[in-house]
Chain A
Amino acid sequence: MSGRFIDNLPKVYGLYTGGFLVFIGLMAILEQMGVSAATLGILFVSFTILIYAAIGWLSRTMQVDEYYVAGREVPALYNGMATAADWMSGASFVAMAGGVYFGGYGYLAFIVGWTGGYVLVNSLLAPYLRKFGCYTVPDFIGTRYGGNTARLLAVIVLVVASFTYVTAQINATGTIASRALQIPFELGVWFGLLGILLCSMLGGMRAVTWTQVAQYIVLIIAYLVPVIWMSNAQGFGAIPQLSYGAAVDRITELEALHGVGTLMPEASQGGLRALTTAHAEAPDSALASWKFVTLVLVLMAGTASLPHILMRYFTTPSVRAARRSVVWSLFFIFLLYFTAPALATFTKLQIMDPALATGIIGKPVADVMAIDWIQQWSNVGFLKIVDTSGDGLLQINEFFMRGDIVVLATPEIAGLPYVISGLVAAGGMAAAMSTADGLLLAIANALSHDLYYKIIDPDADTRTRLVVARVLLVMIGAGGAFIASLQLSNILGAVAWAFSFACSGLFFPLVLGVWWKRANRQGAIAGMALGFAAGTYYLYLVRFAGMEPWLGLDHLRFGIVGMAVSLVAMVVVSLLTPEPDAETQAMVDDIRIPSGDSILAETH
């Protein structure tokens, strides 16, 4: 192969994808030869991590623009893949289908919110921030509004939002690594962190970009293959996403038969849940509809404010490529998100339908307990059967499980070979690692570029800056791993909180920075500080101080309160103080035109 890496991308990633498929085939052969499921899991996870680490090593750099923005030469298609991997976390991969399984229609708010947010990114922010030419999101805030206070506030919001998110990701890598490699969870967390740092430390954004592309390929294959295989085996055809309508109808019939929503579990079983929500029942009151759309709004505005996503669009060669790469991102994300509800529906049907061989609800408890996958997952505490009625038959309120099972146990429920389980573990690992990488880099870059270089030591030379960036990366990663290893409960709450934190503090200062020339420094400071403070205080009140949520705005939706305060504060304070100087206004005009030089110099 001749020429630079960047000119050979289709060849490189084509070979990589082919190689991965060959690897899967090889594992299937090993399975036939009698290699154990545990060994296959170890091979899958360690081999893929080794590949990512090799990419990370090959992408090492000592140049500032390579480290912060991958040299701004990532083509739109590849940046789309990298963003999709950056975006889809362990939670999306492992927990989303389970969420739909338990939450039904109400949980679909996550699917609408986490896709529709990209319309905001594309229309309001990405192309303009790319034209600006910043390295980090606080870099934009600091230059557009001027002054260290605005920059520092942006750094604070970024760190709080991203750090809540990253601990959940490190936790996920720990869970998957410990299960696949059969090591204790605490060790799994540090092992996961090691993998994450290998991908990001030496090459910064450049290394993270090219590993994320590789991780996207693994995760999408790992998500789609089992679902399509299972759907084919069950007679739903090769494109299950289009044909599961009949399954939804059938589930509605079965829900009446099994008493879903009327039979409630008698006692709670820790983190395990019984099914109590109807699958397709829509919100049917104004309050329920309001709760659905407010959750959608928080997730969308949060998407458009999360710095680890926005900074991906700083790496494209042009404004046009930035726009196109948002479209690609959404497309690649869509592939997984429109599959998740199909998977949830199939799994639910298989478990509930007494006419299917896999159906367990309504069957004798003794028979169900003898099934392989039931035994295997109850042994690790993911599943529990309690015959509270004592009639010897399994009722819907006697079957408890963790949502994650929907993805993790699909291959076993449907009787697929173990090689598929190994593939799913590698996919989950890729999803969690890629998101953790992006988040850690976003935090470390903001601290090294905005706090250290721009505020503390503007005379630092390139070498010092890059050393500081890497030291911070390791320190923050270690901090995240430490918190994850404490296994604080309710880590999934934290993922949704990141979106509310981000949109409370950053959404309006970012959007109005481009779209409202009159927005000034005082307004932005008020918008960030008051919005973030109001959101955080409201979270404290509803979550920890026992306050009754106002208008159904619970702890998942506190960003609504934060954003409202942020908008009002920013507009009122901006209008009460002098308008920005002519130079700033000219700068805003310039952001809006794709052609011409970026506002900030190529390296700064």
Chain B
Amino acid sequence: MSKNMTHQVHWQRTRNLTFITLGIWFVFAFLIHWFGAELNQTSFLGFPLGFYMAAQGSPLIFVLLLVWSTRRQEKIDDECGVSE
């Protein structure tokens, strides 16, 4: 594969990973909080679920999401031979 081709493949995979990451981000940043009142009907660890998600759940998921996506990205970089 030429250098240009590997770069193209690398960018395509990077882009797909970014879209997936932002998709998950969108769900926990906006979508679930839109339905906060409905979620609050359910209880989780003793918390009303809507309150829990805004106070802890979403931030925690953001941390885990970044750990996951950074690992994935490093693997993509390695496999395409473009890591530093």
Residues in A lying within 8 Å of B, measured CB to CB: 100, 105, 108-109, 111-112, 115-116, 118-120, 122-124, 241-246, 248-249, 279-284, 289, 292-293, 296-297, 300, 318-320, 323-324, 326-327, 330-331, 334, 337-338, 341, 589, 592-595
Q: Tell whether, in the assembled complex, residue A112 and residue B54 are in contact, meaning their CB atoms are under 8 Å apart.
A: yes
Measured CB to CB, the closest approach of chain B to A242, in angstroms, equals 7
Q: Is the interface of A mostly helix, strand, loop or mixed?
A: helix
Q: Tell whether, in the assembled complex, residue B62 and residue A330 are in contact, meaning their CB atoms are under 8 Å apart.
A: yes
Given A245-B44, A320-B84, output 10 extra A-B contacts at Cβ < 8 Å. Answer: A109-B33, A112-B29, A112-B54, A116-B62, A119-B29, A248-B48, A284-B37, A337-B59, A338-B55, A338-B56
In the complex, what residues of A have CB within 8 A of residue B79's CB? Answer: none
In the complex, what residues of A have CB within 8 A of residue B48's CB? Answer: 248-249, 280, 282
Residues in B lying within 8 Å of A, measured CB to CB: 7, 10-11, 14, 18, 21-22, 25, 28-30, 33-37, 39-40, 43-48, 50-52, 54-56, 58-60, 62-63, 65-67, 69-70, 73-74, 77, 81-84
Q: Tell whether, in the assembled complex, residue B51 and residue A105 are in contact, meaning their CB atoms are under 8 Å apart.
A: yes
A338 to B44, CA, bound (A): 16
Q: Tell whether, in the assembled complex, residue B25 and residue A116 are in contact, meaning their CB atoms are under 8 Å apart.
A: yes
Q: Tell whether, in the assembled complex, residue B55 and residue A341 are in contact, meaning their CB atoms are under 8 Å apart.
A: yes
| A/B interface sample: 20 pairs, CB < 8 A | A105-B51, A111-B59, A115-B58, A116-B29, A118-B62, A124-B18, A241-B56, A245-B47, A248-B48, A280-B47, A280-B50, A284-B37, A292-B33, A293-B33, A296-B33, A320-B74, A338-B55, A589-B7, A592-B7, A595-B83
Measured CB to CB, the closest approach of chain A to B14, in angstroms, equals 7
The residue on A at minimum CB distance from B38 is A282
Q: Tell whether, in the assembled complex, residue A327 and residue B21 are in contact, meaning their CB atoms are under 8 Å apart.
A: no
Q: Tell whether, in the assembled complex, residue B51 and residue A282 are in contact, meaning their CB atoms are under 8 Å apart.
A: yes
A296 to B51, CA, bound (A): 15
In the complex, what residues of A have CB within 8 A of residue B77's CB? Answer: 320, 594-595
Partner of A112, one of B21, B39, B59: B59
A320 to B22, CA, bound (A): 19
The residue on B at minimum CB distance from A242 is B45
A504 to B56, CA, bound (A): 28
Partner of A249, one of B11, B21, B46: B46
A112 to B26, CA, bound (A): 12
Measured CB to CB, the closest approach of chain B to A243, in angstroms, equals 8
Q: Is the interface of B mostly helix, strand, loop or mixed?
A: helix
Q: Tell whether, in the assembled complex, residue B55 and residue A109 are in contact, meaning their CB atoms are under 8 Å apart.
A: no
Q: Tell whether, in the assembled complex, residue B52 and residue A330 are in contact, meaning their CB atoms are under 8 Å apart.
A: no
Partner of B36, one of A292, A326, A589: A292
A119-B22, A319-B84, A327-B66 as given contacts; A246 in contact with B14, CB under 8 Å: no
In the complex, what residues of B have CB within 8 A of residue A120's CB? Answer: 25
The residue on B at minimum CB distance from A112 is B58
In the complex, what residues of A have CB within 8 A of residue B21's CB? Answer: 119, 123
Q: Tell whether, in the assembled complex, residue A119 and residue B62 are in contact, meaning their CB atoms are under 8 Å apart.
A: yes
A120 to B65, CA, bound (A): 12
Measured CB to CB, the closest approach of chain A to B5, in angstroms, equals 13
A300 to B59, CA, bound (A): 12
Q: Tell whether, in the assembled complex, residue A323 and residue B73 are in contact, meaning their CB atoms are under 8 Å apart.
A: yes
Measured CB to CB, the closest approach of chain A to B7, in angstroms, equals 6
Partner of B63, one of A242, A246, A279, A330: A330
Measured CB to CB, the closest approach of chain A to B16, in angstroms, equals 12
Partner of B56, one of A249, A341, A594: A341
Q: Tell whether, in the assembled complex, residue B59 and residue A338 are in contact, meaning their CB atoms are under 8 Å apart.
A: yes
Measured CB to CB, the closest approach of chain B to A293, in angstroms, equals 5
A121 to B74, CA, bound (A): 16
Q: Tell whether, in the assembled complex, residue B40 and residue A280 are in contact, meaning their CB atoms are under 8 Å apart.
A: yes
The residue on A at minimum CB distance from B48 is A280
- List 6 A-B pairs, minimum CB-CB distance, nearest first: A245-B46, A282-B36, A108-B54, A245-B47, A115-B59, A341-B55
The residue on B at minimum CB distance from A285 is B37
Q: Tell whether, in the assembled complex, residue A593 and residue B56 are in contact, meaning their CB atoms are under 8 Å apart.
A: no
Q: Tell whether, in the assembled complex, residue B82 and residue A595 are in contact, meaning their CB atoms are under 8 Å apart.
A: yes
A320 to B21, CA, bound (A): 17
Q: Tell whether, in the assembled complex, residue A324 and residue B70 are in contact, meaning their CB atoms are under 8 Å apart.
A: yes
Measured CB to CB, the closest approach of chain B to A310, in angstroms, equals 16
Q: Tell whether, in the assembled complex, residue A108 and residue B55 are in contact, meaning their CB atoms are under 8 Å apart.
A: yes
Q: Tell whether, in the assembled complex, residue B18 and residue A123 are in contact, meaning their CB atoms are under 8 Å apart.
A: yes
A293 to B58, CA, bound (A): 13
Q: Tell whether, in the assembled complex, residue B28 and residue A116 are in contact, meaning their CB atoms are under 8 Å apart.
A: yes
Q: Tell whether, in the assembled complex, residue A297 and residue B84 are in contact, meaning their CB atoms are under 8 Å apart.
A: no
The residue on B at minimum CB distance from A589 is B7
In the complex, what residues of A have CB within 8 A of residue B66's CB? Answer: 118-119, 122, 326-327, 330
Q: Tell whether, in the assembled complex, residue B22 and residue A318 are in contact, meaning their CB atoms are under 8 Å apart.
A: no
In the complex, what residues of B have CB within 8 A of residue A292's CB? Answer: 33-34, 36
Of B54, B63, B69, B70, most A-chain CB atoms within 10 Å? B54
The residue on B at minimum CB distance from A344 is B55
Q: Tell whether, in the assembled complex, residue A123 and residue B55 are in contact, meaning their CB atoms are under 8 Å apart.
A: no
In the complex, what residues of A have CB within 8 A of residue B73's CB? Answer: 323
A595 to B79, CA, bound (A): 13
Q: Tell whether, in the assembled complex, residue B46 and residue A246 are in contact, meaning their CB atoms are under 8 Å apart.
A: yes
Q: Tell whether, in the assembled complex, residue A111 and residue B30 are in contact, meaning their CB atoms are under 8 Å apart.
A: no
A248 to B54, CA, bound (A): 14
Measured CB to CB, the closest approach of chain A to B20, in angstroms, equals 10
Of A122, A243, A318, most B-chain CB atoms within 10 Å? A122
In the complex, what residues of B have CB within 8 A of residue A248's CB? Answer: 46-48, 51
In the complex, what residues of B have CB within 8 A of residue A105's CB? Answer: 36, 50-51, 54
